[in-house]
Copies of this chain bind each other. A is one copy, B any other.
Amino acid sequence: MKIAFIGLGRMGSGMARNLLRAGHGVTVYNRSREKADALAADGASVAASPGEACEGVEVAVTMLADDRAVEEVVLGESGMAAGLAKDAIHISSSTISTALARRLASGHAAIGQGFVSAPVFGRPDAAAEAKLVVVAAGPEELISRCRPLFDAIGRQTCVAGSEPWQANAVKLCGNFMIAAMLEAFGESFAVLRKASVEPRLFVDVMTALFKSPVYANYGRNIAEERFEPAGFALKLGLKDIRLTLENADQSAAPMPLASVIRDQLISAMALGQGELDWSSVSRISARNAGL
Contact = CB atoms under 8 A, between A and B. Distances in A.
Q: How often does this chain occur in the complex, in copies?
A: 4
Contacts of A45: none
Interface in A189-209: 190-192, 194-198, 201-202, 204-206, 208-209
Interface residues of A, number: 77
A161 B229 CA distance: 32
Given A194-B253, A206-B174, A288 B260 contact: no
B197 A252 contact: no
Nearest first, the 7 A-B pairs at minimum CB distance are A270-B290, A212-B212, A253-B289, A180-B184, A259-B259, A254-B263, A252-B270
Interface in A69-118: 98
A44 B267 CA distance: 50
Nearest to A270: B290
Interface stretch (A8-16, A32-40, A241-249): A241-249
Contacts of A198: 161
A210 B181 CA distance: 11
A158 interface: yes
B191 A251 contact: yes
Interface stretch (A46-54, A58-66, A165-173): A165-173
Contacts of A259: 256, 259-260, 262-263
Contact of A214 (B161, B210, B249): B210
A242 B271 CA distance: 23
A98 B191 CA distance: 12
A209 to B, nearest CB: 5
A249 to B, nearest CB: 6
Given A194-B252, A253-B270, A253-B289, A210 B209 contact: no
Chain A residues touching B, majority SS: helix
Contact of A211 (B190, B208, B213, B272): B213
Contacts of A278: none
A169 B98 CA distance: 28
A143 interface: no
A142 interface: no
Contact of A184 (B176, B190, B285): B176
A289 B288 CA distance: 12
Contacts of A266: 248-249, 252-254
Contact of A191 (B160, B173, B209): B173
Contacts of A262: 249, 254, 259
A230 interface: no
Contacts of A20: none
A221 interface: no
B270 A187 contact: no
